[in-house]
Structure 1
């Protein structure tokens, strides 16, 4: 699978700080209030991310009120706000490609957070990968996508089989399914956390779709936040009663040349 990284084909491309004005009288204050109401949705997203992730770092989760604020802003983002339509070339299947090519439209990245959009043609797949020490917000802009996500099993039950003990096979880890379902836009943004909420996930496009991702902090090899890809092997839960909340899978590390 190829993931192509391009700048978004739109005015402004990277979003930066809005110019700061010196407020000297009540008229300028009123003008500023009117201006803020007209702020473009993605610029508002940028400004909100700056506030929410101001103290971000590996493993640091923003306060609940900040998460709710960012979720609310993301919920208001529409495809037209980022100049995307399902009939654009990004979302067309190409018979010459054995696997549908996925395009990443970069919006902004700094040491605190990153914003970008993944464009998936039908049957496009972003393989199972992790987000170490990161809080991730994903907003499906249009289309239908299947999301399967997992959390690591931290404490293995005493009756766990010896075949999955880390001491005997350190490259294998046990994880439990958090989400395994189709989502169709418009739907609520999804949030995953450093230790729960489905920190490992895989996206599969049922139809052409676009997903806006906000990561805080972003991937950084220098800071130890590597993107690791995995291959999963189904494994029945220990009680013998498989289901979406108790199903287990064994994972083995699978190197991949592409970065999320």
Structure 2
């Protein structure tokens, strides 16, 4: 009877011992799986970081963006906005002048030097803003205009080998009914385009004939010239561009 009682007890102990060993083994397996998973995750993170480092090598690593760069860009943007607003003010501040608003001052070969020096610049006090000058037939002369003038000519009058230069100070000038025929390349170190507009805006050129037949010369040349009107003209430029422009915008060119 005693032996029968001991046998189940021994079997029970064996079962308990087996279950305990199985539990320990399972725990170790779980730890191994967990450790392997953690290791894989760590490796993945390490690879990701490595890829980020590689990607950053192709980014803007060779250019360091500083506060000065940002300030410069901001200032440039502010300057562009201010310039645009100023241009709008200029564009709206002028109305097309009346070419008959003043008694014409007649200029021909006999009195040219009363108003212009030998280089073509207006003599001090000779002309003022708003004056109208009527140019008779004349040849081999430069007219450098730094005042707001109305420039006209009689029907049939011809400016031969002449250049009219609208420079800073001439904004708002009107040139009308002119006939400029140039067959020479240069006089007084100036290439003989018909008309040049440099650092000047809001000018009107209309109802005129400009014929330039030599190389390096243009019917009308424009540099830093905006809001100009070139309307209803006959423009001929045999060997060069007719109206080349640099740094010029918002110009109305039509019916030519």
TM over 0.5: no
Specify the TM-score bucket, using the shorter chain as the normaliser: under 0.3
TM-score by length of structure 2 reads: 0.24
Which structure has more strand as a fraction of its residues?
A: 1
Kindly indicate whether structure 1 or structure 2 has the higher relative contact order, using CA contacts under 8 Å at least 6 residues apart: 1
Higher Cα Rg, which structure: 2
TM-score by length of structure 1 reads: 0.24
Which structure has more helix as a fraction of its residues?
A: 2
